[in-house]
Amino acid sequence: MSFYRYHVFLCTNQREDGRQSCQQCDATAMRDFLKQRTKELSLTGPGGVRINTAGCLDRCAEGPVMVVYPEAIWYTYVDREDLEDILQDHLIGGRPVERLRLPD
């Protein structure tokens, strides 16, 4: 078993050349929201859920993007409601949210 049940990385990259990047979609605020929700629900710590910032995950054109390990499931999202669905269904319920999944 890994140290965390789920380790989540949210891209917060801002590309300086103007190409599509996750930060253009307010990715840092979305990461902060998800991090706060996991704390509110007491999901953090060993055996729980860890939310981390990632630099460029090289999928910004599909973004904003995040990846959940250990399954390596990639998601895109639009708003806090999408993140709440990922939290409730995948991180708590163990069921990936198919409507938000990106192809491997």
pTM: 0.94
Report how many domains make up the chain: 1
Q: Residue 27 domain-assigned?
A: yes
11 assigned to some structural domain = yes
State the Cα–Cα distance between residues 63 and 20, nearest whole angstrom: 8
How confident is the model at residue 1, as a pLDDT? 61
Q: For each of the chain's 104 residues, which pLDDT tens digit applies?
A: 689 999 999 999 887 787 888 888 899 999 999 999 999 999 999 999 999 999 888 887 887 999 999 999 999 999 999 999 999 999 999 999 999 999 98
Within a domain: 64: yes
Q: Tell whether 39 is covered by a domain.
A: yes
**CA pair distance 71, 7, nearest whole angstrom:** 10
Q: Could you list the residue range(s) of the whole structural domain that residue 12 is in?
A: 6-100
Looking up residue 39, the CATH number of its domain turns out to be 3.40.30.10
Any domain includes 1: no
